Amino acid sequence: MTNSSLIDLASAALLLSGVFIASYNDLARQGSLLRLQGLALAAIAFLMAFEHNSLELWIVGLLVLVVRAIVLPGLVKSAAKRIPTEKDRSHSRVSNTTSLLISGASTIVAYLATIPLSHLDSSSTTKASSIGLALVLIGVQILITKRMAVGQIVGFLVLDNGIAAFGFLATLGVPLLLELGGSLDLLFAILIMGALTDRMIVKFGTTDVDELSELGDR
Amino acid sequence: MSQLLISVALLAPVVASLLSFSLKKAKVTETISIITSLILLAISILGMTSILDPGRVVFDGLLRLDRLAQIMLLVIGSVSTLAGWASISYLDSMELSHKFSTNPQAPPPNRRTYWALFNIFSFAMVLAVLSNNLGITWVAIEATTIATTFLVGFKRTPLSLEAAWKYAMICSFGIAIALLGVSIVYFAATHSGLSGSQALQINVLTTHYRLLDHSAMRLAVGLMILGFGAKAGLVPFHSWLPDAHSQAPAPISALMSGVLISVAFSVILRVVAISNLVLGSSYAHTYLAVMGLASMAVASLLLINQRDYKRMLAQSSIEQIGFVAVAASFGTQLAIAALLLHVVVHGIGKSLAFISVGRVESGFHTTEISKVKGLLKNSPSVGFGLIVALSVLVGLPPFGLFWSETAVITSASRTHFVLIAAGAIVFILISSVALVRSVLKMTLGPGDLNSAIAVSRGFSPIAVAGFMASILLGILASPTNGLLMSAAHSIAGLR
């Protein structure tokens, strides 16, 4: 297999894992899929580092592996264990089938939206960058359709993975400094959201964000 | 010299934050934090008065202290001084009410965390305005969200938790959208032949604007204005603002309303400057005009029937930043100079307003406008502070907003601008009437002896300082001031 077909394979894994995360409601499974997504992202970075013989990309790949494939999915999985199960509640606003349909539509929209970019550079990686945008849209979909706090955090992570994927596939990765700052920010943001979720369990006994409806202008 | 100033401006808050976290003595931490804010203020003034070349980039092109950065540093320094000063008594009263609270399990306010985050917040804002690299700017703006989320939820009540969650989600989402925009800029710049390390540098992008691809930049600019607009409190991602501002400790609301939203807007100004060169001025200006007018409309309509005074001030901030966006959409040098003045004066006026109502809240234990009466009689200095802030915010002369609003409106000379300006005037009138009505309800009237009292002990110096700063700015600075005009010239980005 050539290097570029391996990159295509990893990109496909990225998109598919995103679609499945959107349709599942089980946090532990979403955590595993997020790990897969992080691995695929790291694989893309490593493959590009190998192809272009760039030390910077190797370091970025390592960073992606640690943050997006190990630490963040681990946080989601540990949250899944801590959170009380609420059996009678559906965790999603839409059914599995609807979710798959929306993801399909998002992917088409993403392909259409990246047409103006592909005329700049017709190489396969730039074409694959529509996968990054599709993941961003699927992340938004998860953010909107999931009702549980951690489900929304997962959506946010998928969205961020999508942006990172766009960065790698379209531009050979963003500069190391930006990736470093971005990962650090992401890590802190997720830690803070996790801490807020823990407080939610204490104060409300649930992590259903629909319960957060006291504030507003009436 | 500018290297030295920039290093001090960045290092001081970091050191202050580390010290706040490690030192045990609260008094020392407070003093250090306020001195840090004063240092920032001093650096901005030094930068403005010295003969440095303001366009010079330092540290490998990563940072620069240009005119816009100096003006934003002035806002950060002055508002964080006021807010830090007010934080001391705010935390004292929080501790006091914790001592007598009926719920002994609730943890006391954690001063070390408060001051550490306060200083990190300042650092992130300073970095955002000094950065010459869109990537670094992005990281810094995201860092402001991280630093303030816990501060918004500092009271640990269910309501503040709700506000913190919504704040974190909406702003992180908006900022993620902006990151996508930054990535597309990087894509466009590297494909046009710029090297990876230069591809995000603002001064490089503005000099090599001819190379950048139009369709990619169109996508990128739209995403960045929307994304950073979330942090600036512009429609459509404005809804976090009233929630967060009403639940955060008052000095933090002062900082967020007075500076944070304008820092985010200054980033939008940088983006617009690049966009004007690449895509012509009408593209970004249309975004700004639509988002600005929509923000003003939404905010002023919500203000009419507002019953909560902290939400009222927050919505007034959405309305003000909407006006700033409208001014930026006119794009003339005068309009931009005026909007910079607007941002400075609004920062001081709004923070004084939040600090005053913070005192009201801790005395009355309610944020309902109808339950607060007779402030001028019972707590004269708090009432005075609130009245001064009101006069600044509704743009009474001689305060600066009068000059800035007049200048923005008069600079709308072209026909399609006149309609926008007319719309802006209507919304300013609506919101001013609403503000005046509510504040007068709270300040005037008999203060009967049985009613609650906002503690005004130690507040007079803060109120007087805010008053003096507003008066000084009103007299010294006009939109045609040379410094503001040269700042406006450098960021207008007109071909």
What is the mean pLDDT of the segment spanning A164-189? 81
Residue B166: its chain A contacts at CB < 8 A?
212, 215
Q: At a CB cut-off of 8 Å and minimum separation 6, what does A153 contact?
A: A76, A79, A190, A193, A194, A197
On whether residue B400 sits in a domain, the answer given is: yes
The series of mean pLDDT values per 10 residues for chain B, 495 residues long, is: 88 94 88 94 89 77 90 95 92 83 71 93 96 94 92 89 91 92 90 86 91 90 96 92 92 94 96 93 92 96 91 95 95 91 94 93 87 86 92 90 90 79 94 94 77 72 88 83 85 61
Amino acid at B457: R
Candidates B159, B169, B216; nearest CB to A215? B159
Q: What is the pLDDT of residue B495?
A: 45
Of B142, B161, B311, which is closest to A200 when you measure between CB atoms? B161
pLDDT, tens digit, for every residue of A7-32?
889 989 999 999 999 988 888 888 99
Nearest-CA neighbor of B358 among B98, B88, B146, B163? B88
- In angstroms, what CA-CA distances link B217 with A113, B192, B212, B223, B275? 13, 12, 7, 10, 8
> What is chain A's mean pLDDT, rounded?
84
pLDDT of residue B151: 93
Chain A residues 103-142 with a CB less than 8 Å from chain B: 113, 116-117, 119-121, 129, 133, 136, 140
Crossing angle for the helix pair B26-49 and B2-22, to the nearest 10 degrees? 170
Q: Is B197 exposed, middle or buried (0-12, 13-18, 19+ CB in 10 A)?
A: middle
Indicate yes or no: CB of B139 within 8 angstroms of CB of A171. Answer: no
Q: Residue A175: is its pLDDT beyond 60?
A: yes
Closest chain B C-alpha to A101 CA, distance in angstroms: 23
Give residue B279's identity as a one-letter amino acid code: L
Complex-level ipTM: 0.91
Is B190 a domain residue?
no
Residue B391 lies in a domain: yes
B11 domain-assigned: no
How many domains would you assign to chain B?
1
Dihedral sign, Cα of residue B472, residue B475, residue B478, residue B481: negative
Considering the domain boundaries, does residue B182 fall inside one?
A: no
Q: Is residue B91 part of a domain?
A: no
Peptide bond preceding B236 in cis form (omega within 30 of 0):
yes
Regarding predicted confidence, which is higher, A209 or B210?
Answer: B210
Chain A residues within an 8 Å CB radius of B191: 120-121
A6, pLDDT greater than 70: yes
The answer as to whether B337 is a domain residue is yes
Q: Which residue in the set A170, A189, A192 is minimally distant from B187, CB to CB?
A: A170
Return the pLDDT at B104. 59
Closest Cα of chain B to A103: distance in Å?
A: 19
Expressed as residue numbers, the domain containing B366 is 281-495
* pLDDT score of A120 more than 90: no
Tokens of A202: 């204490």
Under the banding of pLDDT at 50, 70 and 90, the label for residue A88 is: very low
